[in-house]
Amino acid sequence: MTFAHAVTDRTRRLQTRLCVGLDPRLDAYRDAAHLRGHTLDVLEATAPYAACIKPQLAFYEALGLEGMKLLEEVCAAARTLGLPVLLDGKRGDIGSTAQAYAQGWLSGQHGGSALTVNPFLGFETLTPFVDTARANGGAVFVLVKTSNPGQADLQGSGISERVADEVRRLNAAEPQSEYPSVGAVVGATHPGDLAAFRALMPRALLLLPGLGAQGARASDLSGAFDPGGTGALASASRGVQYAQGLDVQASAAAARSFRDELNAALKQ
Amino acid sequence: MTFAHAVTDRTRRLQTRLCVGLDPRLDAYRDAAHLRGHTLDVLEATAPYAACIKPQLAFYEALGLEGMKLLEEVCAAARTLGLPVLLDGKRGDIGSTAQAYAQGWLSGQHGGSALTVNPFLGFETLTPFVDTARANGGAVFVLVKTSNPGQADLQGSGISERVADEVRRLNAAEPQSEYPSVGAVVGATHPGDLAAFRALMPRALLLLPGLGAQGARASDLSGAFDPGGTGALASASRGVQYAQGLDVQASAAAARSFRDELNAALKQ
């Protein structure tokens, strides 16, 4: 089962469109062991409400070797729980270097099966990521329009739309898949643009970051979904993991709440 | 001494403008121990001819935890040899995530003191990297025009020039430094553009990737340098580490040769 298929299957079975971000911040904890325990507890407590999880690689890298070990543990725990893993690394580089990133993050070595990628180096540089994802039943999520206000500096003037066209073009090579291997990142903070990007990339799985701490609201996101309520995942990170300090039950409640708000938005 | 100062000092003392890329490819070796030994041997053999070294993070990540351990060893060995370390990670993300990357790679934790960064998410996202580099005597190298042919997809139409303007603007905050904390990546494969980017970013240290395997020639790069022969570093990776299979003496000879060719280009 591919990443896109697994996520969509969870959406249909469990009625959830929520992607739970797991971004452990060292300054929230007494020490590395405390961070590890809490992060794994949040994963387990929020799993019933998540279509997938999204570890942000930056937070694991910031912890050095211990962080990379924890990332492997998080991926293994997610696998045990049946949760697809989307690694948020925003990698991008040329030729054989892109191939090395794809080998590292999309070959199953670290337990992840999907990766966010940055297209700034050019469309040719997406190829090794896409090929590796296809060969392993994984997925790449190409940055189309990021959730931050400053995205317009280099993504404005039609650039986001050109990237969206490339995502559609790449997915045309997989006519059999409901949702092919190439997804797209479109900030949940741009609710007015979601329907347009949905139309530009009709079969792409959309990742919508920015729910919660960044200010996006579930009720504004219905334009990103296909009629059956599939095709998009809205992600929340701090708003789940640190919903009320380090209270794990509050994390579970926040995930349940985001799930319910997304479902309610789709029923209107 | 800052990264830029250390590199420029080596350029003046040792007459070298070469950045040696250390990108170990697993398929070139019998096993991980062989890869480790050869990479550290190449570092030591080429050090006399290098202004700095540039490990490409993708190749270490592709090796998993062992790769991250090797990266720390490479950085420690470079420190012992007095070689500045520029980590080629092309990181880029928003807000507190960019801060986590900066903490991981620019705070001295992994031994590196400079990092390549991808500006696609917007100029505001450079701030955590630049602030952390300034606080630690490090440097960031912002992707302005990458070395691959497909760069024009999203870096054309004046985008590279807008990023270059931002690099100049950021460096205006450090009027005392000969070469401030914000450098720029401009492909050595675009020789006709080097003088223009040099003029757009008068005090930025330029990293020029693409010497050797990517086809750029040392003799074409003089436009990137300031009159005293400082201000730019040309980098070669495969063309040094795998100059003749795994022959370490051939790696040293290739580095010496690139150094000499760069010096000859500046004398014309």
Alpha helices by DSSP H, listed for chain B, are 3-14, 32-46, 57-61, 64-80, 95-106, 127-136, 152-155, 159-171, 194-200, 238-241, 248-267
Alpha helices by DSSP H, listed for A47-151, are 57-61, 65-80, 95-106, 127-136
Kindly tell me the burial class for residue A13, based on how many C-beta atoms sit within 10 Å of its own C-beta (0-12, 13-18, 19 or more). Answer: exposed
What local confidence, expressed as pLDDT, does residue B39 receive? 98
What local confidence, expressed as pLDDT, does residue A159 receive? 97
- Asked if A112 and B82 count as a contact pair (C-beta separation under 8 A), the reply is no
Q: Which of A80, A87, A137, A90 is nearest to A110 (CA)?
A: A87
- Collect all residues with Cβ–Cβ distance below 8 Å to B117 and sequence separation of at least 6: B89, B90, B91, B92, B126, B129, B140, B141, B142, B143
The answer to whether B267 is a known catalytic residue is: no
| Residue of B69, B90, B145, B267 marked catalytic | B90
Looking at the DSSP bridge assignments, the partners of residue A141 are A116, A183
Q: Which of A212, A105, A197, A215 is nearest to A144 (CA)?
A: A197
- Collect all residues with Cβ–Cβ distance below 8 Å to B149 and sequence separation of at least 6: A122, A124
Kindly tell me the burial class for residue B186, based on how many C-beta atoms sit within 10 Å of its own C-beta (0-12, 13-18, 19 or more). Answer: buried
d(CA B211, CA B188) in angstroms, rounded, equals: 7
- Asked if A243 and A213 count as a contact pair (C-beta separation under 8 A), the reply is no
d(CA A61, CA B104) in angstroms, rounded, equals: 6
Determine contact: B147 vs chain A, CB below 8 A.
Answer: yes
Determine contact: B45 vs chain A, CB below 8 A.
Answer: no
d(CA B72, CA A65) in angstroms, rounded, equals: 9
Helix, strand, coil % (nearest 5) of chain B? 55, 15, 30
* Interchain proximity A58–B148, CB inside 8 Å: no
d(CA A244, CA B245) in angstroms, rounded, equals: 57
Among B90, B107, B132, B143, pick the best mutation site for testing chain A contact (most A Cβ within 10 A). B90
Cβ within 8 Å of B, A 168-197: none
Neighbours of A245 (CB within 10 A): 8
CA distances from A32 to A23, A26, A39, A70 (A): 13, 7, 11, 10
What local confidence, expressed as pLDDT, does residue A108 receive? 79
- Asked if A43 and A258 count as a contact pair (C-beta separation under 8 A), the reply is no
d(CA B10, CA B5) in angstroms, rounded, equals: 9
d(CA A123, CA A164) in angstroms, rounded, equals: 11
* Interchain proximity B118–A118, CB inside 8 Å: yes
Host H or E run for residue A11:
helix A3-14
| ipTM of the prediction | 0.97
Along chain A (268 residues), what's the average pLDDT of each consecutive run of 10 residues? 96 98 97 97 98 98 95 96 97 97 87 90 98 96 97 97 98 97 98 98 97 92 97 97 98 98 94
d(CA B216, CA B210) in angstroms, rounded, equals: 6
Q: Which residue of A has its CA nearest to B156?
A: A122
- Asked if B252 and B246 count as a contact pair (C-beta separation under 8 A), the reply is no
Residues of chain B found within 8 Å of residue A148, distances taken between Cβ atoms: 94-95, 121-122, 124-125
What local confidence, expressed as pLDDT, does residue B153 receive? 97
Residues of chain B found within 8 Å of residue A58, distances taken between Cβ atoms: 91, 93, 97-98, 100-101, 104
What local confidence, expressed as pLDDT, does residue A214 receive? 86
d(CA A57, CA A75) in angstroms, rounded, equals: 12
Q: How far is B165 from chain A (nearest CA, A)?
A: 12
* Interchain proximity B58–A93, CB inside 8 Å: yes
Determine contact: B76 vs chain A, CB below 8 A.
Answer: no
CA distances from A160 to A46, A151, A211, A220, B142 (A): 32, 10, 20, 20, 20
Q: Active-site residue numbers of A? A: 90
- Asked if B124 and B169 count as a contact pair (C-beta separation under 8 A), the reply is no
d(CA B2, CA B9) in angstroms, rounded, equals: 10
* Interchain proximity A93–B90, CB inside 8 Å: yes
- Asked if A79 and A108 count as a contact pair (C-beta separation under 8 A), the reply is no
Along chain B (268 residues), what's the average pLDDT of each consecutive run of 10 residues? 96 98 97 97 98 98 95 96 97 97 88 90 98 96 97 97 98 97 98 98 97 92 97 97 98 98 94
* Interchain proximity A163–B154, CB inside 8 Å: yes
Host H or E run for residue A198:
helix A194-200
Could you say which architecture CATH assigns to the domain B3-267?
Answer: Alpha-Beta Barrel (3.20)
What local confidence, expressed as pLDDT, does residue A268 receive? 78
What local confidence, expressed as pLDDT, does residue A213 receive? 83
Residues of chain A found within 8 Å of residue B98, distances taken between Cβ atoms: 58
